[in-house]
Amino acid sequence: MSHKEDNEEKRRCHRTDLYASIPRTCLPIVYHPDYNITFMGLEKLHPFDAGKWGKVIRFLKEEQFINDGNLVEAREAAEEDLLIVHTKRYLNRLKWSLVVATITEIPPLLFLPNFLVQRKVLRPLRTQTGGTIMAGKLAVERGWAINVGGFHHCSSDRGGGFCAYADITLAIKFLFERVEGISRVTIIDLDAHQGNGHERDFLDDRRVFIMDMYNRYIYPGDEYAKRAIKRKVELDWGTEDSEYLQKVELHMEGTLNEVLPDIIVYNAGTDILDGDPLGGLSISPQGIIKRDELVFRAAKRRGIPVLMMTSGGYQKKTARIIADSILNLHRQGLIEGNAAEGEGSTPLTTHMTPTSGSAGSTSTAV
């Protein structure tokens, strides 16, 4: 074994808390209160609703769909977890407040000591990243999982668009390395922005098929990353429900007919909503709900597990729409509403690779 292969093997076998066993009494919905960024009002300087994720959970609790006892609590991704994808040099750069201020586009952060930036900004982002990794394993075990958070602009060596960690890349790498039977992944990215982070990371990886449907005129416009997209759907300003949903169904079906993956990683950004200050599209709340239903229905028909992240969305009402979409998926019989409903179903047969100590035109975007 070469020195390089030996180092890769050591990284692959690192101990992680993110693949710990989750009780069957829990729904595969992953969240932690630490997702929400609040610090001296600085979060209000960014158009993103930094408390959106907590509002989604509150709405789902009010509808009695979830409770604190059956929600999966996300764990923060440790440095060893992040090093599966990120370079040490990149992680060290995050120790500079100026770098984090640039990535998050919150300029006053550059004046804060980095220990505060780590605690109040980067820890929430690392916890969301851990949530996506955890949801990947849960999706394979249960047939579906939702991380109420997520990103898609960060790659292994550079962040941007409020994304400091490459959670999609990490979740997929964890699956490839730790779950037997996962050898092909399809990313369906329906956020209004191009998902250039995971595209850069999987540019030369034939195991990953990327469908990306986005507003062609907005951030990031990453031409280099576009080379990774196998099915590219570029939308015009103001695209509305009828055209949008027709294209989603047409290209998603084409994608899944071309390559049958072992899992779908679905980026369900709500910045496509009409009136979103950054997305530039004109999709109604009902259109977003129908979009998510189309993805889950296509996956269920083919027996493919789905990992969903909620990602971008820059209006206060997007939290309610996300919650309503999840409730609709339950009403349509596409996800279970409580652990008891899933007890009679047959879980997907997988084998977890044993690990040492393992417990089982503004630029801002997300």
Task: Please list the active-site residues.
Answer: 153
Helix H or strand E segment including 30: strand 29-31
User: Smallest Cα–Cα separation from 136: which of 172, 101, 169?
Assistant: 172
Which residues make beta-bridge pairs with 212? Answer: 189, 232
Judge whether 219 and 361 are in contact, CB under 8 Å: yes
Tokens of 254: 């084409």
* Angle between helix 318-331 and helix 52-62 axes, rounded to 10 deg: 40
Neighbouring C-beta atoms of residue 349, cutoff 10 Å: 9
Rounded Cα gap, residues 358 and 77, in angstroms: 14
Reading phi first (left if > 0) and then psi (alpha if -120 to 50, else beta), residue 121 is in: alpha
Secondary structure of residue 254 in the 3-state scheme: helix
What one-letter code names the amino acid at 169?
A: T
Max alpha carbon distance in the chain (Å)? 56
The C-alpha atoms of residue 95 and residue 106 are separated, in whole angstroms, by 16
Angle at 190 (CA atoms; ends 187, 193), nearest 5 degrees: 105
Strands (E), 45-184: 72-73, 144-147, 179-180
Amino acid residing at 38: T
Nearest to 128 by CA among 102, 101, 162: 162
Residues in CB range of 361: below 8 A, 6 or more apart: 217, 218, 219
Helices first, then strands: H and E counts in the chain: 14, 10
Q: Please state whether beta strands 351-352 and 179-180 pair in parallel, antiparallel, or not at all (unpaired).
A: antiparallel
d(CA 159, CA 151) in angstroms, rounded, equals 10
